[in-house]
Amino acid sequence: MKFVTAEWAGEIFVGILNKDETKILPLNKATELKSGHRVFPDTLAECIALENNFIDKVNEIVDWAWRNEDIFIPIEAATLMAPIPRPAKNIFCVGKNYAEHAIEMGSKDDIPEHVMVFTKAPTTVIGNNDSVLSHADITEQLDYEGELAIVIGKKGRGITKEEALDYIFGYTIINDITARDLQARHKQFFIGKSLDTTCPMGPWIVHASAVGNPNHLHIETIVNGEIRQNSNTENFIFPVEEVISVLSAGMTLEPGDIIATGTPAGVGKGFKPPRFLKTGDKVEITIEKIGTLSNRIE
């Protein structure tokens, strides 16, 4: 199942896509027609917090709705937002999780021995096809980073690697856009990673059951039609299970928490000379079994 947050006819709603990704089923509209009541919370983050109860209710309404095609909204008639438009916390981000990326940003000495984590502010989040501000007044080195993102599905602390995948609700795509000059100037990553609109996310969240092994997914980033990043999550230094285990050691992970798992080699800064983003550029990130996230620089 692919879960979306979308806007249609002036209303923001939570929905799921049909199999060919042409129509959206608004969950609460369907339950109102079926039973006269809105069953689901108004936001996807709140829905995820219901844990297994959410999926059980979705399966029930979907089985009924497939026989009532007039409930569905054509995807082109709706506006897809980020699946979680305003996360409750900063987005967790794993740095240098592909060896080749660590090397292109420095040398073999920069390959980390332990999981490296920074965060992006919730105000960075935008959706598929939304515009990314160039912030030309404060940065000359805006860069792209295509990444697989984990969406946590249940509360946990001290999660072992063996049980980590059971805590995942689903997966989405994030473009961890970075102002490299600000990142270097301030030494810490937060400012350079947290400019408004620098966390495109989406276009939806794919339920974990439809993805299977997250450590074996092809990932590709295209800028203006040119392939810049081309890798596979099997090249993670720290697989998804280890990332979750490390983050949850003493810190509680909660439903709706988002973890970006790192970017492969091929970022703009890694080229000689560097190839930073400029106004008008189009960035498309495709991850196997999930979809494509597309945004332009404004």
Q: Is residue 105 part of a domain?
A: yes
Closest CA to 6 of 177, 129, 147: 129
27 confidence band (pLDDT: 50, 70, 90): very high
Place of tokens 């740095």: 95
Residue 257, both tokens = 């928490």
Residues 85-143: tens digit of each pLDDT: 999 999 999 999 999 999 998 778 889 999 999 999 999 999 999 999 999 999 999 99
Distance CA 121, CA 203 (A): 19
Number of domains in the chain: 2
Residues 253 and 211 in one domain: yes
Q: Is residue 86 part of a domain?
A: no
Q: Diameter of the chain by CA atoms?
A: 62
> Is the preceding peptide bond at 83 cis, omega within 30 degrees of 0?
no
Residues 140 and 21 in one domain: no
Q: Is residue 200 part of a domain?
A: yes
Residues 104 and 133 in one domain: yes
- Domain boundary at 80, 111, 146, which? 80
Can you give the residue range of the structural domain that contains 282? Answer: 91-297
Residues 131 and 194 in one domain: yes
- Domain boundary at 34, 61, 80, which? 80
Closest CA to 176 of 119, 214, 137: 119
Residues 62-85: tens digit of each pLDDT: 988 887 778 999 999 999 999 999
Q: Are 243 and 208 in contact (CB under 8 A)?
A: no
Residues 214 and 102 in one domain: yes
Arithmetic mean of pLDDT, 21-33: 94
Q: Which residues, listed in sequence order, are joined to residue 174 by a DSSP beta bridge?
A: 147, 201
Tell me whether residue 96 is exposed, middle or buried, using C-beta atoms within 10 angstroms of its C-beta: 0 to 12, 13 to 18, 19 or more. Answer: buried
Under 8 Å CB-to-CB from 296, ≥6 apart: which residues?
Answer: 131, 132, 280, 281, 282, 283
Residues 63 and 158 in one domain: no
Tell me 123's DSSP state.
G
Rounded to 5 degrees, φ, ψ at 176 are -80, 70
Residues 108 and 247 in one domain: yes
Residue 222's CATH number: 3.90.850.10
Arithmetic mean of pLDDT, 37-42: 92
Closest CA to 11 of 43, 46, 37, 35: 43
